[in-house]
């Protein structure tokens, strides 16, 4: 499908694609689809050539899969492999795309803003810089459930101790992820429980989307400037501000700021609903974002795409719902 055809097809749909971030990886991802669609292995080979190591081996063996610098290029590649299978099977072009954290890069590649090779090199570097920005064991992240956003922000502001703690991801109403220095995160977890909420420590080695990542962002900005980026052919809602960039400079700036500012996922999903989106397809391993979308009042259905059965269910349901087939 040409760029013009893709753009025209997207205007006539009520479907949006969302791409997951770190945490959605799993050993053996896309193995079933790879047996039936050669484009899966071809996509991994293309990305592996760009970064100089075997991403498919990491995805299937699990060796290094949970190390940030490897997790990020593997997940990006898996998402683009699924995107290519979707188009190969005649799936509709979505009206909007969005990605959660790392997933924003998947969305930009799918929308033609940057090449897969350039993107995997970028996110490999992004992972390395994030990992080196904070000494191991110093940072932490936790999900705070059952409290409104304002209360979580209040608890972060009131936390006592050395360092900082901030809201990192606004994932849904009553679900905020915090990040920062480990002791400060633990302090907010304790007070959140005292205030009737739940607190779950996340198994991550890097405290993403908080001010501890500013040194990484400064170095990453240089790499972004040296990477060829164009405005997407399909609109991509970026994490910072939940907005669509109107020029490449704004797009680059938002990608830099994304490292140390909050992921505005709640606002992103509200934007999609305001634009009349009714169907969400999660293009990546797992179903975390699809499950979040199912809770929204104006979303009729949300589909994960990470197996042949799920892909076919989504294809048929969306084609029927949008009147493409009877």
Active site residues: 101, 209
Handedness of CA 124, 129, 135, 137 (dihedral sign): negative
Distance CA 72, CA 25 (A): 9
Sheet holding 96-99, edge to edge: 236-237, 96-99, 15-19, 279-282, 301-304
Angle at Cα 4 formed by Cα 3 and Cα 9, nearest 5°? 100
Q: Which tokens belong to 216?
A: 């990484």
**Beta strand pairing status for 96-99 and 198-201?**
unpaired
Element (H, E) at 82: helix 68-88
Give the single-character DSSP code of 171.
Answer: E
Listed in sequence order, the residues at least 6 apart from 140 whose beta carbon sits closer than 8 Å to its beta carbon are 179, 180, 181, 182, 185, 186, 201, 202, 204, 207
> What is the residue-wise DSSP string for 299-326?
--EEEE-SSHHHHHHHHHHHHHHTTS--
Distance CA 82, CA 306 (A): 7
Distance CA 326, CA 319 (A): 8
The CA dihedral of 199, 172, 80, 52, to the nearest 10 degrees, is: -30
- CA-to-CA separations, 246 to 56, 243, 314, in angstroms, rounded: 35, 9, 31
Give the single-character DSSP code of 95.
Answer: S
């Amino acid at each position: 499908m040409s760029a013009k055809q893709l753009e025209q097809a997207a205007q006539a749909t009520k479907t949006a694609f969302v791409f997951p971030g770190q945490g959605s990886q799993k050993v053996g991802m896309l193995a079933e689809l790879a047996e039936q669609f050669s484009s899966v292995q071809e996509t991994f080979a293309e990305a592996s050539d760009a970064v100089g190591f075997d991403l498919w081996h990491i995805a299937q063996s699990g060796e290094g899969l949970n190390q940030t610098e490897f997790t990020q290029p593997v997940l990006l590649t898996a998402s683009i492999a699924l995107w290519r299978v979707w188009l190969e099977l005649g799936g509709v072009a979505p009206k909007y795309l969005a990605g959660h954290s790392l997933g924003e890069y998947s969305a930009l590649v799918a929308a033609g803003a940057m090449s897969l090779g350039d993107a995997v090199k970028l996110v490999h570097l992004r992972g390395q810089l994030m990992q080196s920005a904070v000494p191991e064991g110093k940072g932490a992240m936790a999900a705070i459930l059952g409290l409104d956003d304002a209360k979580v922000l209040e608890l972060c502001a009131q936390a006592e101790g050395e360092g900082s703690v901030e809201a990192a991801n606004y994932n849904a109403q009553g679900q905020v992820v915090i990040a920062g220095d480990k002791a400060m995160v633990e302090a907010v977890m304790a007070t959140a429980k005292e205030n009737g909420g739940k607190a779950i420590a996340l198994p991550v080695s890097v405290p993403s989307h908080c001010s501890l990542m500013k040194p990484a962002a400064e170095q990453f900005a240089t790499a972004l400037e040296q990477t060829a980026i164009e405005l997407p052919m399909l609109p991509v809602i970026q994490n910072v501000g939940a907005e669509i960039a109107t020029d490449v400079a704004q797009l680059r700036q938002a990608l830099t700021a994304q490292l140390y500012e909050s992921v505005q996922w709640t606002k992103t999903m509200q934007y999609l609903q305001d634009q009349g989106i009714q169907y969400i397809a999660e293009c990546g391993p797992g179903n975390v974002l699809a499950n979040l979308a199912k809770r929204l009042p104006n979303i009729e259905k949300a589909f994960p795409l990470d197996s042949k059965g799920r892909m076919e269910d989504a294809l048929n349901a969306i084609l029927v719902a949008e009147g493409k087939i009877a």
